[in-house]
Amino acid sequence: SQRELYSRHHGAADGRIRVWLGIRQIMNATDQLLLETRNVAKELKTGIHM
């Protein structure tokens, strides 16, 4: 899951690695997926790559 990836890798390599969330294909993403991704990014205080 996105949270697992974030907790495992964010801040690794003496803080040089930063994990952002991503939407693989924005054209096929549902509104629910976009909202959930936004909410998780906000919770983790990270960005979203689109």
Domains of the chain: total: 1
Task: Please say whether the dihedral angle defined by the alpha carbons of residues 5, 12, 16 and 40, taken in this order, is positive or negative.
Answer: positive
Distance CA 26, CA 35 (A): 12
pLDDT digits (tens, 9 = 90+) for 2-50: 899 999 999 999 999 999 999 989 899 999 999 999 999 999 999 999 8
pLDDT for position 50:
85
Q: What is the pTM of this model?
A: 0.83
H helical segments located in the chain: 2-9, 12-15, 31-44
Q: What is the SS3 assignment for 44?
A: helix
Closest alpha carbon to 35 in 23, 19, 18: 23
